[in-house]
Structure 1
Amino acid sequence: MTQDQPRIVVVTGANRGIGRELVRQLYVRGDTAVLGSRDLIKGRDAADEITATAGSGQVVALRMDVTDPSALRAAAGELGERLGRVDVLVNNAAILYDTWQKPATADLDVVRSALETNLFGAWQTTQALLPLLTSGRSPRIVNVSSESGSLTSMGDATPAYSISKAALNALTRQLAAELATDGILVNSVCPGWIATDMGGPGGGPIADGAASVLWAADLPDDGPTGGFFRHGKPLPW
């Protein structure tokens, strides 16, 4: 895909971490980045900090609680009125890297909480914004996943997080199959181990993680769909 015209890119969970860095990269290169966050004040603060630096795009802070369908419908309505379309949706919001749990003894309330954000959050956000995506230019949906959700390499660690990401990958496959006739490419991306609040110290640079996600947003119209990637390279399901 050529980048000769600015695009409208919605990023959930974007007031910090990879989401925030992705918004910054979009802003620098001239796109309109919608910085979605559950807490609008934190989202506006992040947007103000990003736009205080050099860039040629726009940052729009928007309240997007991915666990609240009515709030998502309101956000979609506001986006429709203000911008008229969405070109890319990045389902980035995620919680609960539960390193303290094992599956046989896991607190299922914790698992349900992870599924509510990591799976159902992405699912209902996609449903809410799909009408705007169908009006977009070369529309893309990028689900920020993790190799923790790969069945090929999965062990017994982080059961809530890993199972929620495996489910997100399954959603990617189903959406890709359904939306192919509409020209919407849908892919999962693992940014890798990145030094964020969730990833912890020792991970790679946050800019690299955001760039891995941006690769899927920038795919050409004949690019892959229904895949699982890290830094542009396929990962095993």
Structure 2
Amino acid sequence: MPTIKETAVITGANRGLGLEFVRQMLNSGYKVIATCRQPDDAEELYQLAGSGSLTVLPLEVDDPHSVDSFIKAMDEQPVDILVNNAGVMGAPAQDIDNMEVNLWLKLLRVNTIAPFELTTRLLPNLRMSDRPRVIAMSSQMGALNSNGEGFYAYRSSKAALNKVMQTLAIQLAKEHIIVCPVLPGWVQTDMGGKDADISVDESVKGMMRLLENLSLEQSGQFLTWHGTQHTW
């Protein structure tokens, strides 16, 4: 069994990228605090418990009461890495002639505001680390040089996330807290679909290498899963 070296918090850990982050981090010796909305239904997540130090906590990132309970449960727990992975794509009704405004608000709450809130609420825990790092899963669809149509709610929520993470990075640099939005690539998940470019395993391996080598000089950059800087 590898020696436990750091503690990571992963949101949306019951499937896709989040679940793979848990698997690879446990195998690499991290202590992992995994969150999801319904832990009782997260069978695949609990199956990983035997491979390392895993704690599963309930967290619905857009529910203030759930966030409060999670922060209370974290108490004096140091956090070295926060992976803001929880996010939603939303329904197809995101076009000029078919926009659900309430859906738009939901996506902004989950994809943009929740990563900010969770990061700031966990600052006391991050400050206990010798090398605190925060990443948030972004998207090419949130880059202003992306010229696709439709999906206004999703695109804008990820573009706003990029700016929020960049601003946090600037403000927290004096405390040596590294903050970056990260592009995981077009990944073969429920959201990305089976025709996506890369596997979940490949994407997370790249982001694990990124987290291992992330420096304060890179804080605030929009980085890709293989460690290069992406155009905003």
User: What is the TM-score of this pair, normalised by structure 1?
Assistant: 0.89
- Find the residue that maps to 1:234 and give its secondary structure: coil
User: What residue is the counterpart of 2:59 in the other structure?
Assistant: 64
Q: Is the 8 A contact 2:132 2:176 kept in 1?
A: yes
Shift of 1:63: 0.8
Which runs of 5 or more residues in structure 1 are unaligned? none
Which of 111, 124, 128 is the equivalent residue of 2:121? 128
Amino acid at match of 1:178: Q
Distance in 1, Cα, partners of 2:117 & 2:17: 21
1:25 corresponding residue in structure 2: 24
2:46 equivalent among 42, 45, 48: 48
Residue matched to 2:208: 214
Is 1:96 the counterpart of 2:89 in the alignment?
yes
8 Å contact 1:47–1:59 — kept in the other structure? no
Distance in structure 1 (CA, Å) of the matches to 2:150 and 2:203: 22
Q: How many residue pairs get matched?
A: 229
For residue 152 of structure 1, report the CA deviation from its aligned partner: 1.2
User: 1:168 aligned to 2:166?
Assistant: no
Does structure 2 conserve the Cα–Cα contact (< 8 Å) formed by 1:139 and 1:185? yes
- 2:108 maps to 1:115: yes
Which residue of structure 2 aligns with residue 11 of structure 1?
10
How far apart in 1 are the matches of 2:173 and 2:96?
Answer: 35
CA shift, 1:123, in A, is 1.4
Aligned equivalents of 1:168, 1:216: Cα separation in 2 = 19
Letter in structure 2 aligned against 1:62: L
CA distance in 2, matches of 1:138, 1:27: 19
**Structure 2: runs of 5+ lacking an equivalent:** none
Partner SS for 1:141 = strand
Q: After superposition, where does 1:121-200 map in structure 2 within 5 Å?
A: 121-200=114-193
Q: What do you get for the CA RMSD once the two structures are aligned?
A: 1.9
Distance 1:233 1:97 in 2: 28
Structure 1 residue 220: Cα displacement: 4.3
- Tell me the distance in 1 between the aligned counterparts of 2:206 and 2:150: 24
Higher relative contact order (CA 8 A, sep 6+): 1
For residues 189-217 of structure 1, what are the alpha-carbon distances to aligned partners after superposition, in whole Å with 9 as ceiling and x for unaligned?
A: 11111111111111221112222332342
Aligned to 2:221: 227
What is the CA–CA distance in structure 1 between the aligned matches of 2:100 and 2:32, rounded to whole Å? 37
Change (3 A) 1:96 1:140: same
How far apart are residue 48 of structure 1 and its match? 2.1
SS of 1:233's equivalent in the other structure is coil
In structure 2, distance between residues paired with 1:212 and 1:100: 33
Query: How far did residue 98 of structure 1 move?
Result: 4.3
